[in-house]
Structure 1
């Protein structure tokens, strides 16, 4: 007799975090077509040329990482699912990573000429530092263990994006490019859930290892993070030195590197805390979005249902040692 195909039953939940995450992601669903990006054109025209160049490269880099996550990352994580509901959550995450990548093209098509867009993608596909971090993560997705893949995914979701997120959050805090920043806040809100959820799934497997296996994996994770950080510092210097933002971005990087470790249940690597981050950017990182009428597109965001964003306190609520 052939093996029976099992229908997913959402009325019988093995892990309640799967259900809660699914519901949160559905509540947070959004699409770039509902953000009035053209309202930012006056701000864009008034930016200095070197800042426009930086913004294009920042968003090109973010597009590459979201493409990696949607095409390779989530697919790799699906190979070690524990429940059908977990796979459904990963399907949702995979779709939204594709939405994130598309949203940057929406920004490009609004702010940039065709030749500028072509130049941005040429730079993105050939920059050594950007390609290095993508290759490092992708190698783990294709040849790492299940738990190593989860570590790599959390580092991508919760750390590597943030060198790019800094710029639009900075502009938002200075009353510039609010609609571009709204898209970043929507993406950031998604990534905070993605990183927390995948980190939680990592902890389930990690807690089943022997002490020696745990120590080896933890050492591997810290080594990987520091190597990624060293490359990210060079990438940050390349992007931000000319406009004088580099040191503030590095603090932001270290803060989010610690957040990534927290998602995995590990201690921070760097001394930087939220108090050390530029307060203008920290205000922007609060993942709420502007409320307005979904249909009329009033304001610089849109509300689909009653969305609850994930803030620092939610990490504490989610990051507990699961009983397995």
Structure 2
């Protein structure tokens, strides 16, 4: 006879962080369909073809990474849960990663023609640098151990997304595409929680390892980050050289790579700090978004609260 199936009991919590994270994520629930993206069309029409190309293809790359996270990432992490509540939290994260991926299609539908959308996805699905990071992370999800999968997930959430996030945050700082940026800031808010939560779970398991096992894992971790950064450096130059933003984007990436390591309880790898990042972009991260009443059409009982400012404490559990 098989063991009895155990019902999840949210009144008996083994780890308070599970409940706190669940509550945080459910409070933050949002949908892309409630944001008036068409209000950005006037800005879009005033932007040149080079800017159109950058925005569309950057968002194509972000769609790919969110697809990896929703299709492979969370299912791989669920293989090594410590509590039943942790699996519930990962289910929530998995769903929201799908919401993130879909929200980019809403942006495309608003700003781009069907022909342009087809070209963006064809490019996304064949670009060697994009495919490298998607395949490298997916390979770890499918073949890595518990620790490696959590590291890959945090690196994706807190580092690899940010070469794409730079663009809408930059335009937001110049009062352009503010509704598109609204979606990005909602995604950023989610990813902040995802990265800290998974990093916290990594630290619990890491602290149970023997010292020599920790040392070996740390070496693997920093090697992986360097490998991903080397590819991201090439990707950044490919995307941003023409517009002249590459060095600023790379500083932003290094800053967020350090944030990813901090989520994992590790020392920073790069010298870059928040003071080195373009202040326009940092302001885009730290400034609260507009308080859209997403659910005003479906009843007063479902109002989404104002997006909170993001700061260094968001990386603390």
Give the TM-score band, short-chain normalised: over 0.9
| Residues 287 and 311 in structure 1, CA contact (< 8 A), matched pair in contact too | no
Q: How many Å separate the matches in 2 of 1:278 and 1:166?
A: 10
Q: How many Å separate the matches in 1 of 2:185 and 2:147?
A: 28
Aligned to 1:137: 137
Q: 1:227 to 1:39 in 2, by over 3 A?
A: same
Q: How many Å separate the matches in 2 of 1:124 and 1:84?
A: 36
Q: How many Å separate the matches in 1 of 2:276 and 2:243?
A: 20
| Residues 27 and 306 in structure 1, CA contact (< 8 A), matched pair in contact too | no
Residue by residue, what CA displacement relative to the aligned partner does 1:260-288 show, whole Å, maximum 9, x if unpaired?
00000000000000000000000111263
Aligned to 2:248: 248
Is residue 260 from structure 1 mapped to residue 241 from structure 2 by the alignment? no
Residue by residue, what CA displacement relative to the aligned partner does 1:133-160 show, whole Å, maximum 9, x if unpaired?
1111011001100000000000000000
Q: Give 1:1-324 correspondences, 5 Å limit.
A: 1-286=1-286, 288-295=288-295, 304-305=304-305, 308=308, 310-316=310-316, 318=317
- The secondary structure found in structure 1 opposite 2:134 is helix
| Residues 189 and 310 in structure 1, CA contact (< 8 A), matched pair in contact too | yes
Q: 1:106 to 1:306 in 2, by over 3 A?
A: closer
- The secondary structure found in structure 2 opposite 1:271 is coil
| Residues 295 and 304 in structure 2, CA contact (< 8 A), matched pair in contact too | no
Q: How many Å separate the matches in 2 of 1:185 and 1:314?
A: 14
- The secondary structure found in structure 2 opposite 1:190 is helix
Q: How many Å separate the matches in 2 of 1:184 and 1:97?
A: 13
Aligned residues: 313
TM-superposed CA distance for 1:72, in Å, is 0.3
Q: How many Å separate the matches in 2 of 1:44 and 1:232?
A: 27
| Residues 125 and 131 in structure 1, CA contact (< 8 A), matched pair in contact too | yes
Q: How many Å separate the matches in 2 of 1:84 and 1:290?
A: 35
Q: How many Å separate the matches in 1 of 2:164 and 2:38?
A: 21
Residue by residue, what CA displacement relative to the aligned partner does 1:155-174 show, whole Å, maximum 9, x if unpaired?
00000000000000000000
| Residues 255 and 274 in structure 2, CA contact (< 8 A), matched pair in contact too | yes
Q: How many Å separate the matches in 2 of 1:303 and 1:202?
A: 33
Q: How many Å separate the matches in 2 of 1:41 and 1:126?
A: 29
TM-superposed CA distance for 1:4, in Å, is 1.2
Note the residue ranges of structure 1 that are not aligned, 5 or more in a row.
319-324
| Residues 81 and 87 in structure 1, CA contact (< 8 A), matched pair in contact too | yes
| Residues 261 and 268 in structure 1, CA contact (< 8 A), matched pair in contact too | yes
Q: How many Å separate the matches in 1 of 2:17 and 2:287?
A: 20
Note the residue ranges of structure 2 that are not aligned, 5 or more in a row.
none
Given the two structures, how large is their TM-score scaled by the length of structure 1? 0.94
